Amino acid sequence: MEKTTTQAYDMLAEAVTARGVDLEGVEESLRAQRVETPSWGYGNSGTRFKVFPQPGVPRDPFEKFEDAAEVHKHTGVCPGVAIHIPWDKVDDYGALRSHAEGLGMHIGAVNPNLFQEEQYKLGSVCHPDASVRKQATDHLIECVEIAQHAGSDILSLWFADGTNYAGQDSFVERRHRMGECLAEMYAAMSPEMRMLLEYKFYEPAFYHTDLADWGTALTMCQKLGEQAQVLVDFGHHAQGVNVEHIVALLLDEGRLGGFHFNNRKYGDDDLIVGSVNPFELFLIYVELVGAGAATANVAYMIDQSHNIEQKIEAMILSVTNLQEAYARALLVDREALEEARGAGDVLGAHRVLLDAYNVDVRPLCAKVREDLGASADPIPAFRRSGYLDKISAERVGGTPASWT
């Protein structure tokens, strides 16, 4: 680290160790942090009105992994890449897996796509037509097979299923249809696999959504079995919902399967995690740290749509925001927190959290990244690397990847 950064780290170390914090343990936890980036986050994306192309965008899944490897190079904690089918469909998943491993990466969660085909206008696994439900189920089972070839053990599911008008369909019958389709997929999974069910309270259906909240997702998982767990997407809640409370309850039930990290101001999940509500992100990590061993199998995944910002730099910022939120949560004085809670000291307990949140953890995270062989200050390092100029010159011709 540079001298000024080293001095800042030394001051931080002195302050936190004086409060009884095991700094070596904190650094060990930070070095073990893993975050999965999404393949689709490296392609062209946009709003509902326009997709904005950028130079150097990957043209195939192989180039997406190359960009993801650049993010991992500078952050040190994100060797996994989630794929989306059919956006990332290839003829040989073994070849994609080998390409990833050659870059020091691996294929992460497999995400089926059941919302872009014409036949899914009235839903996929909840559709009133059995033939459409079969197409959807066949695709889900296809993704199980892809995961097996790719070396992945996570199937991440989000459904756009819902209705637009009262009376359009039966809530209960749609739920039963979903359960039947997911049971077929569940039966096709190998024992080490997990199915993560993601919920969203509205859109694209505007009257009701079949998996609208954590409760509908949780009860469906409970029907399916222990290999089914809930995925919490930060942007898929109504305004004001207490996401950290949901996280705590799912942890307590042993059903928190993972996250899709992002942020939102109003209606969806297209912003960089921590960009709107960094305190919420910190509080969620406080619950995760407090749960300890219960978080062993939680999958930490980013799901963002980088519309006007440069893709790789945006992903690097997302990861560093997660590193810093986790670092602050690890610095919470748990003994003081429990003492204040037991004494009924409301603001005392709150101040314990504020004390940790207000620590400038950037020198700590810089040291940890350097320990991992990554960049102390990732975004300036990426800008100096010339990687963006290189791919902009090389990736000319072909069709840039896009979610449309």
> What's the pLDDT tens digit per position in 249-279?
999 999 999 999 999 998 887 899 999 999 9
User: Which of 315, 330, 345 is the last residue in one of the domains?
Assistant: 330
Same domain, 276 and 141: yes
User: Which of 330, 347, 364 is the last residue in one of the domains?
Assistant: 330
Same domain, 6 and 48: no
What range defines the domain where residue 163 resides? 34-330
Domain-located, residue 179? yes
Give me the CATH number covering residue 271: 3.20.20.150
C-alpha to C-alpha distance for 111 and 81, rounded to whole angstroms: 11
Same domain, 13 and 71: no
The residues, any chain, with a CB within 8 Å of residue 260's CB and separated by 6 or more, are: 156, 198, 231, 232, 233, 234, 235, 236, 269, 301, 302, 303
Q: What is the mean pLDDT of residues 381-401?
A: 95
Domain count, the chain: 2
Same domain, 91 and 151: yes
Residue pair 391/67 in contact (Cβ under 8 Å)? The answer is yes
Q: Distances in Å between the alpha carbon of 240 and those of 235, 245, 277, 348?
A: 11, 12, 12, 24
Same domain, 133 and 234: yes
Strands (E), 63-141: 80-85, 106-112
pLDDT in tens, 60-96: 999 999 999 999 999 999 999 999 999 999 999 999 9
Same domain, 366 and 306: no
Same domain, 348 and 274: no
Same domain, 325 and 361: no
C-alpha to C-alpha distance for 318 and 234, rounded to whole angstroms: 13
Domain-located, residue 270? yes
pLDDT in tens, 314-364: 999 999 999 999 999 999 999 999 999 999 999 999 999 999 999 999 999
C-alpha to C-alpha distance for 63 and 399, rounded to whole angstroms: 12
Mean pLDDT of all residues in the chain? 95
- Residue 26 gets which letter from DSSP? H
Domain-located, residue 184? yes
Which pLDDT belongs to residue 378? Answer: 98
Q: Is the pLDDT of residue 305 over 90?
A: no
Same domain, 326 and 338: no
Query: pTM higher than 0.75 for the full model?
Result: yes
Same domain, 215 and 81: yes
Domain-located, residue 382? no
User: Which of 277, 299, 330 is the last residue in one of the domains?
Assistant: 330
Which pLDDT belongs to residue 3? Answer: 62
Domain-located, residue 188? yes
Domain-located, residue 324? yes
Domain-located, residue 42? yes
pLDDT in tens, 146-178: 999 999 999 999 999 999 999 999 999 999 999
Same domain, 350 and 305: no
pLDDT in tens, 40-63: 999 998 877 888 899 999 999 999
3-state SS assignment for residue 173: helix
pLDDT in tens, 119-141: 999 999 999 999 999 999 999 99
Domain-located, residue 389? no
Same domain, 13 and 62: no
